[in-house]
Structure 1
């Protein structure tokens, strides 16, 4: 089922007014990538970029064209590890957070 515009607007508004929510979205995107769900992780990361720094500013920070970043974070995008690391680094700096990986027994 496709997300409605209202849902995306709700996420955007909440991320803009609630830094902890924005941080939780970044954490969720990282967790999804590490757990083998890259498509969902890219979509969350795309929504977070739109809600916070925007693709134009992200493009400046990571020195990549914004159009390329849009493709990388699309449902069928395929960002390389260097690009993905640069995007996460830019988002961490923008949100003033650190991410730490922890292993949990299944």
Structure 2
């Protein structure tokens, strides 16, 4: 192995280690998250970590096979986050009181 290849492998290994550490922190946030919004954001970060892991695997193998899969996962993660945010926004909307419904009489 030449010098640049050794540096590439070391950096990719460090990236994978950081992804694993972030995944462990993510699991604790999903488990302990005090609110539903914390858990939803954690699941969005989970999608990002999966994409990052696939990117690291693709870089190790020097194979672009996983790029379309990463794109689809990014789209699904985004739409899932938007859907959860809309659900939480509707659920947490304050209820109108009877006085507000009657026009403030």
TM bucket normalised to smaller:
0.3 to 0.5
Q: Kindly name which structure, 1 or 2, has the bigger radius of gyration based on alpha carbons.
A: 2
Length-normalised TM-score, structure 1: 0.33
Length-normalised TM-score, structure 2: 0.33
